[in-house]
Structure 1
Amino acid sequence: MAKSATIALTNIWKDRYILQRTTKQLLQVLVFSIATYGAEFWILRKGDKRKIAALELWCHHWLFRVSWVNKRTSKWVLEKIGPCRRLLDNNNDNKCRFLGHVAKTYDLKKDVLFGTTHGKSGRGRPKTRMLDNMKDIVDIRMTELLRMAQNRS
């Protein structure tokens, strides 16, 4: 959906009178907001992270009108972008904020998020949970992270 939004905005990207800084901000607002809608609830695996990074690079290639014929590397495109927030970093920050918000409450959302439901677990390999993603993002033990979130209020 984000790729189609990028292609639909071709007139904006090709306009020579719009500054490059403005087009980067438009890309952030108009395309990346579509790509990451509701992303704080996503459980990202390695393949998903690669796809998000590929989408981000594809959009910037499209923005700078870099064809594969030009033989420009992704490193060149990232240098041309300059220092900016990456899509995955932004997603991780939103996830941490959401986890802190839910950790302060005492209701069903917290039980579902932390996987503390009662009963037997199903057969086979356990599914990746939200907390498994959070362990990859933050290097703190989950009990310490939850204590920090509850003490923040």
Structure 2
Amino acid sequence: MNGKDLDTVEKFSYLGAIVTNEGGIGDVNNRLPKARATFTKLKGIWKSNIINRRTKIKLYNVLVKSALLYGCESWKRTKGEEKEIDIFQNKCLRWMLNIKWQERVTTEDLLKRADTQPISKEIRCRKWKWLGHILRKDQGDDCNIALTWAPEGKRRRGRPNTTWRRMVEKERNMGGWTSWGVARAAAANRDRWRHSVEALCVT
């Protein structure tokens, strides 16, 4: 590029995200430490008896959750990673709501008290809302081409690696869209697409 040779690497950092050679951005392990650090710096606020619960939840959503979910639309995630980020949020909420470990509070009750939803569900919703914008772009747009483009040659034997595109194609089929053409037609109607994404996120 511009007369310079580029090294072949397995991963590199771009705009604060870790891009890997397996496809997509595996950024969970990169964002979680930053979110934990942000939460720890605000420990005085979480312990305060002057600040009410609603204000603490708002601060958590604006400061901690935004640090965690930066660029989450392009993450490729495993079930283990989804569980890890959900556990992180549950621990944060228990600390803010002053719920001791001895108290038997279910996850459903915890989320209801905080008036929030699992992080894994929110990531999926954000991703498919963003994909709706992509699908409404011109089919010659680079983002649309990337959804269907396939490299030449054959892949090596064995189970294929989990990539962002394989993950969204699996979720697409779960949503009842058998192809990107079908999904593109559904995304053209914004209201119907929004309801379909909400149903997919519950699945």
**Does TM-score exceed 0.5, indicating one fold?**
yes
Equivalent residue for 1:92, pick from 124, 128, 131: 124
**What value does the CA root-mean-square deviation take over the aligned residues?**
2.3
Contiguous gaps of at least 5 residues in structure 2: 1-33, 191-203
- Could you tell me whether the CA contact under 8 Å between 1:115 and 1:129 is conserved in 2? no
Go from structure 1 to structure 2 and tell me whether the alpha carbon gap of 1:128 and 1:110 turns closer, same or farther (over 3 Å shift): farther
% same residue: 26
> RCO (CA 8 Å, sep 6+): is it higher in 1 or 2?
1
* Code of the aligned partner of 2:43: T
TM-score (norm 2): 0.64
SS of corresponding position for 1:72: coil
Partner of 2:175: 139
**d(CA) in 2 for partners of 1:56, 1:99:** 25
Equivalent residue for 1:107, pick from 141, 151, 161: 141
**d(CA) in 2 for partners of 1:88, 1:43:** 12
Residues 1:10 and 2:43 aligned together:
yes
TM-score (norm 1): 0.82
**d(CA) in 1 for partners of 2:126, 2:37:** 24
SS of corresponding position for 1:54: helix
Partner of 1:65: 98
* Code of the aligned partner of 2:175: D
